[in-house]
């Protein structure tokens, strides 16, 4: 059974960098698929942030591309999200998920609040 | 504003049938597979339909999906109180080179 778990600070100050890690169990991220990040502001809909292919290629939402970096650590079976220069608009629940033309396995999500 | 348009809300009585539309364009729905996600209150989204009309293991056959041109539809019969949730369509957009989600539809059981 594939499982994903997000981890990272729940509070980030404005203008700083949000950093989250997704730990995957039950499947090796280097074996296949893409691995993605999706966020959901409170009371709003889902927004795709970006994916990393098992080969290391990355794909980002054009609206966030200048601030986003997704990387992977295959030795730990983890992939990570960095979002720079955050503002209150980046407050959201952040999900990691496995992507194979659709998101089939999701983490439970972690709330990140941007506030001083 | 999402590239995929869904009705904000749909409601029906228990046991009734519900359909949710997802309208896009040739750069997304028109040329790519559509998937549907169910998000129960306070939980992560769950894959309901993939590749337009396929159900993952464990999803009952009262849920169905279809696609025609640049629109897709999620349908489910025998509405239950446990179906009260937000439903999102999603697909790849070739122009954006990125994944897009629909605006979401809240289903209420009357």
Which residues of chain A carry a pLDDT beneath 50?
none
3-class DSSP assignment, residue A114: strand
Residue whose entry in the numeric block shows the structure tokens 């698929």: A33
Phi and psi for B71 in degrees, rounded to 5? -130, 150
What is the pLDDT confidence band of residue B2, given thresholds at 50, 70 and 90? Answer: confident
Residue A87 has a CB neighbour count (10 Å cut-off) of: 9
Residues in chain A within 8 Å Cβ distance of B45: 38, 46, 95, 103, 106
Residues of chain B with Cβ-Cβ distance to A95 below 8 Å are 44-45
Please give the pLDDT value at position B46.
98
- DSSP states along B15-84: T--EEEEEE--TTTGGGS-EEEEEE-TTS--EEEEBTTTB--TT--TTEEEEEETTEEEEEE-S--GGG-
**Nearest Cα to Cα of residue A37 among A56, A14, A61, A67:** A61
pLDDT in tens, B11-45: 999 999 999 999 999 999 999 999 999 999 999 99
Instruction: Report percent pLDDT > 90 for chain B.
Output: 97
pLDDT on residue B60: 95
Chain B residues 18-47 with CB within 8 Å of chain A? 33, 35, 37, 39, 43-47
């Amino acid at each position: 059974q594939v499982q994903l778990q997000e981890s990272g600070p729940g509070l980030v100050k404005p203008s700083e960098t949000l950093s989250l890690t997704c730990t995957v169990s039950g499947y090796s991220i280097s074996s296949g698929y893409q691995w993605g990040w999706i966020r959901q502001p409170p009371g709003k809909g889902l927004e795709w942030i970006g994916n990393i292919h098992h080969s290391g290629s990355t794909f980002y939402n054009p609206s966030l591309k200048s601030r986003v970096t997704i990387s992977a650590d295959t030795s730990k079976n983890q992939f990570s999200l960095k979002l720079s220069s955050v503002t209150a608009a980046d407050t959201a629940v952040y999900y990691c998920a496995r992507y194979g033309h659709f998101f089939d396995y999701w983490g439970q999500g972690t709330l990140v609040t941007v506030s001083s | 504003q999402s590239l995929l348009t869904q009705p904000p809300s749909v409601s029906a009585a228990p046991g009734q049938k519900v359909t949710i539309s997802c309208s896009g364009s040739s750069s997304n729905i028109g040329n790519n597979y559509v998937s549907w996600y169910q998000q129960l209150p306070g939980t992560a989204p769950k894959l309901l339909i993939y590749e337009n009309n396929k159900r993952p293991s464990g999803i009952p056959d009262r849920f169905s999906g279809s696609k025609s041109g640049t629109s897709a539809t999620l349908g489910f019969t025998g509405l239950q109180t446990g179906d009260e949730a937000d439903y999102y369509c999603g697909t790849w957009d070739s122009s954006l080179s990125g994944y897009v989600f629909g605006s979401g539809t809240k289903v209420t059981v009357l």
